[in-house]
A = this chain, B = another copy of it.
Amino acid sequence: MAKSIKKAVPDRKSQILLSASRVFAKKGYHEASITDIIDHAGIARGTFYLYFKHKRDVFDHLLTEFLNQLDHIIKPVEIHDGAPDPLQQLKDNITNVLTLISTQPEVAKILLHLSTGLDDRSAVTASSFYNGILEMIENALKTGIELGIVRKCNTIISSVIILGTVKEVAGYLITHKNPPSIQEISNEVIQYGMNGILLAK
């Protein structure tokens, strides 16, 4: 079983990406300097540029990689015969997303901090990602309404509410020392989605 272990990080590129995610998560894109990143990675200045063309390049790498993972993990709710309980599918999505996020809190932080609506290339990337999610949610809601499992509602606003719910809950999960368990959080989100919180008049 040889001289394997060596480092937790497999190669230089990953090493830089890891360091960059830490630094970006701590200081934000603009306040993070190349010096910060290479110091954290313990490499020379030139080495950084051996693997990435620009500062922006690492950032985009980090972002798109994470967005791709999210994309793969989020499954549109299926309703055909024999499909699992839609509620469970929903809950699975939430759990999976929160799990992925808690695995890579730094990159998640970067994504959540991205200012949608700014004149900024990365912001646009994130924005279009969120729009895609919104669309997916809205479609699910529409289908749900047709099938009678979702109450009639303004599907746009409701999608926004759901997105906000998950984003904030995710942010809470990664910025707090001892957050509730992902199970607990998912349950609560689902509960909220099923019953709201108000016990009605």
Q: Does A164 contact B (CB under 8 A)?
A: yes
In whole angstroms, how far apart are the Cα atoms of A198 and B175 in the complex? 29
Q: Interface size for chain A: under 10, 10 to 19, 20 to 34, or 35 or more residues?
A: 35 or more
Which of A11-19, A45-53, A66-74, A152-160 makes up part of the contact surface? Answer: A152-160
Tell me the residues in window 122-172 of chain A with beta carbons closer than 8 Å to chain B beta carbons. Answer: 123, 141, 144, 148-151, 153-154, 156-158, 160-169, 171-172
Kindly supply a per-residue 1/0 record for chain A positions 180-201, scoring 1 wherever the CB is within 8 Å of any chain B CB and 0 otherwise.
Answer: 1000110011011111111111
Is the C-beta of A116 less than 8 angstroms from some C-beta in chain B? yes
Contact A151 to B199, CB < 8 A, known contacts A118-B26, A157-B188, A168-B164? yes
- Which residues on A are within 8 Å of B, measured CB to CB? 25-31, 86-87, 109, 112-113, 115-120, 123, 141, 144, 148-151, 153-154, 156-158, 160-169, 171-172, 174-175, 180, 184-185, 188-189, 191-201
Q: List 26 A-B contacts (CB under 8 A).
A: A27-B119, A28-B120, A29-B30, A31-B118, A31-B119, A87-B200, A113-B116, A113-B117, A116-B171, A116-B175, A117-B171, A144-B197, A151-B195, A151-B197, A153-B188, A153-B192, A154-B180, A154-B188, A156-B180, A161-B192, A164-B166, A164-B169, A164-B171, A191-B196, A193-B197, A194-B198
